[in-house]
Chains A and B, each alone.
Chain A
Amino acid sequence: MTSMSRHLLFILLMATSGASVAEQSFMISPSFGMASVDDYDDTTHIRIDGSYFIMPEFGINAFVTNYSDFETSGDYGDAAIELDGYGIGLIGRWQAHPRFHPYLRVDYFYWDAELTALGRNIGSESDFSTGIALGAQLPIKGFFGLKLEAQRYYDVSGADIDQLNFGATFEF
């Protein structure tokens, strides 16, 4: 191989390896929102997502979340449920526009719930549930952006949880 060929091969290898790394990204996204369960008052929640995009369109996600108590009341008193947990998920993202990236995320949520009623702890339960989220990432400037998503978790201690999340994204 001539020295010219070796130089060209070296430049080609550097260019392609640099482009592959640039497509990968990490994203941290704190968010908050409202959560709803039938027969209970709406409540707030917070969560932090950490995502690793293997490519711009596909990533894996991990999260932790905590809910303010879900509360309900009736003729004979009040009840409240504490709920928190963590999980992992997969994200499919479409960079439709530089400032609009809709995405679909599927979560596997490990939760811990505790019921208080009649003035005492009634019972607790821990288990896994699946969830699905449909949202949009809105890049603003550089690594900073915003996100808005609608989500549902299925069969969390017998109930489906619907929630809206609003947060910030920091993608590197």
Chain B
Amino acid sequence: MQNITIRTLPLLSLLLLGGCGGSDSSSSSNYTNTQIAPRITASQDQSGDVTTVAILQSSSGASLYLGDGDRLYASLNTPPADLVNTDGDLFETGHELTTRVQIMESLGTEKYYANESTDDLNPPIRAYVGFERGNGEWVGQTSVVIPRDFTILSPASYSSISRNTDDPITLSWTNVDETTTMKLHSRVICNNLTYLAEEAISLGADTGTAEVSASDYFPANAPTDINCHAVFTLERSSPERPISEELGTAGGSSIIGIKQKMVEFTSTP
């Protein structure tokens, strides 16, 4: 079996899923601040990079795109408002802006993203998003702390695990945080992409362990006598938090922080 290394990229998955809204999207410039409801996730992947994604909708559920100079800013550990709205220490502010604050880019209608390295940052990592209108009005900013780090104890990386129906896979991880919830994203590839299965499995509150059966992740149409390459991406999510007041936007605005870890193994008969 060809050894395939798969990198689960939140950005890539969003690109694959992007394009929602299409010609039915409306410009944000047609809506007031309290009619716009961004839903934001800030996700730190295996490499340590944080990808912040904002999905823009109106309070009535219409898909929106940023129009007429409206902007979303993203930054880590530095509130964008401290830098974007300043009339002092311009030299330091200018330099900080080039290294700390990004304008979130479009991933297609309604989705905006920013990807940031955390190489020079100490945890906890706090992801910020700021919202500014085209007329220069600063609407507000919000933030979320990325959930604390954990290590996947089982299954072991690059191990071989049987799909014996009587012996489900036991997932276990360190540094339990009972205030968070866990989700498993599985991706199994057999015979050089001849058979592919991608699943998202909610594991509930973080207890440090969970069991998954082969039927949960193995491609239903794949022969049972072959080896397949599997990637499990385990996500720890903070509770979804409403942010309407602090961001100055509509009810329904929310933010979630996610920490991801990944393990690869071979799934055997």
Interface residues of B in 59-94 (CB under 8 A from A): 71, 73, 83-94
- Contact between chains at A122 and B98 (CB < 8 Å): no
Shortest Cβ distance from residue A44 to the other chain B in the assembled complex, whole angstroms: 17
Stretch at the interface among B27-35, B99-107, B158-166: B99-107
CA of A166 to CA of B111 in the docked complex: distance in angstroms? 54
Q: Are B88 and A125 in contact (CB under 8 A)?
A: yes
Contact of B145 with A by CB under 8 A: no
Give the residue of A75, A79, A119, A156 whose beta carbon is less than 8 angstroms from that of B94.
A79
A2 to B39, CA, bound (A): 106
Which residue of B71, B91, B92, B101 has the most chain A CB atoms within 10 A of its CB atom? Answer: B91
Closest A residue to B85 using CB positions: A123
Query: Which of B86, B87, B90, B103 interacts with A118 by CB under 8 Å?
Result: B103
Least Cβ distance of B24 to chain A in Å?
A: 28
Using Cβ atoms and an 8 Å threshold, which residues of chain B touch A39? 91, 95
Task: Please report the C-alpha to C-alpha distance between residue A129 and residue B98 in the assembled complex, in whole angstroms.
Answer: 26
Which of these binds chain B: A8-16, A47-55, A66-74, A99-107? A66-74
A92 to B101, CA, bound (A): 47
Residues of A within 8 A of B94 (CB): 40, 72, 79-81, 115, 117, 122
> Of B84, B85, B88, B99, which contacts A74 at CB under 8 A?
B99
Q: Does B97 have its Cβ within 8 Å of any Cβ on chain A?
A: yes
Asked if A159 is at the interface (CB within 8 A of a chain B CB), the reply is yes
Residue A76 lies at the interface, judged by CB distance under 8 Å to chain B: yes
Q: Does A78 touch B at the CB level, under 8 Å?
A: yes
Q: How many A-B residue pairs have CB under 8 A?
A: 86
Main secondary structure of the interface of A (DSSP, over half): strand
Question: Shortest Cβ distance from A73 into chain B, in angstroms?
Answer: 6
- Min CB distance B132 to A, Å, is 9
In Å, the complex CA distance between A76 and B98 comes to 5
- Contact across chains for B99 and A37 when beta carbons are under 8 A apart: no
CA distance A73 to B117 in the complex (A): 16
B84: nearest residue on chain A (CB-CB)? A122
Report yes or no: B84 in contact with A76, Cβ–Cβ below 8 A.
Answer: no
**B residues near A117, Cβ cutoff 8 Å:** 93-94, 97-98
Complex Cα spacing A125 to B90, Å? 8
Per-residue B-contact encoding for A150-161, CB less than 8 Å = 1, 0 else: 000000111100
Contacts of B91 in A (CB 8 A): 37-40, 70, 81, 156-159
Given A118-B103, A123-B87, check contact A159 B92 (CB 8 Å). Answer: yes
Q: Is the CB of B97 within 8 A of A158?
A: no
Please indicate the chain A residues that have their CB under 8 angstroms from the CB of B100 in the complex: 76
Q: Say whether B84 contacts A115, CB under 8 Å.
A: no
A76 to B116, CA, bound (A): 9
Residues of chain B within 8 A (CB-CB) of A37 are 91
Which 9 A-B residue pairs are closest in the complex by CB-CB distance? Answer: A74-B98, A158-B89, A79-B94, A74-B99, A159-B91, A157-B90, A115-B90, A123-B87, A117-B97
Besides the known contacts A39-B95, A72-B95, A76-B102, 11 further A-B residue pairs in the complex with CB atoms under 8 A apart = A74-B97, A76-B100, A79-B97, A81-B90, A117-B93, A118-B73, A123-B86, A123-B87, A125-B87, A156-B91, A157-B90
| 8 residue pairs bridging A and B, Cβ less than 8 Å apart | A37-B91, A38-B91, A75-B98, A75-B99, A77-B102, A79-B98, A81-B91, A123-B85
Q: Which residues of A contact B (CB under 8 A)?
A: 37-40, 70, 72-81, 113-115, 117-119, 122-125, 156-159
